[in-house]
Amino acid sequence: MADKFKTVPLDKMIDKHIGKPGTKKRDAFENELRIDLLGQAIKKARQERNMTQEQLGELVGVQKAQISKIENSVKNARFETILKVFEALGAKVNFNVELA
């Protein structure tokens, strides 16, 4: 009996269902992934420093709920607040801007 399932590389699936690199839909998808990774990086750094969301919020000057929102969806956070979070965590932040 032949296998009904075929292994397909993730890049090909993304190309097929989201769009090829350089398309508006693909760019939006990749930007959203980067934003989600930023929230995960904040959460990981906080946990590695054995801090609660409340403790981090106190250092930054925001409520625990705001830290939770940032960790789960950075989309609605102010850039200034995100920078304060990284500063409070003692994290070095680098930005790479590429003009097309």
**Does residue 90 or residue 95 have the better pLDDT?**
90
Residue type, 62: V
pTM: 0.64
Predicted confidence (pLDDT) per residue in 38-83, tens digit: 888 899 999 999 999 999 999 999 999 999 988 887 666 788 888 8
**In which band, very low, low, confident or very high, does the pLDDT at 99 lie, cut at 50, 70 and 90?**
low
- Exposure of 71 by Cβ count < 10 A (0-12 exposed, 13-18 middle, 19+ buried)? buried
Q: Has domain 19-88 been given CATH number 3.40.1360.10? A: no
Domain ranges in the chain are 19-88
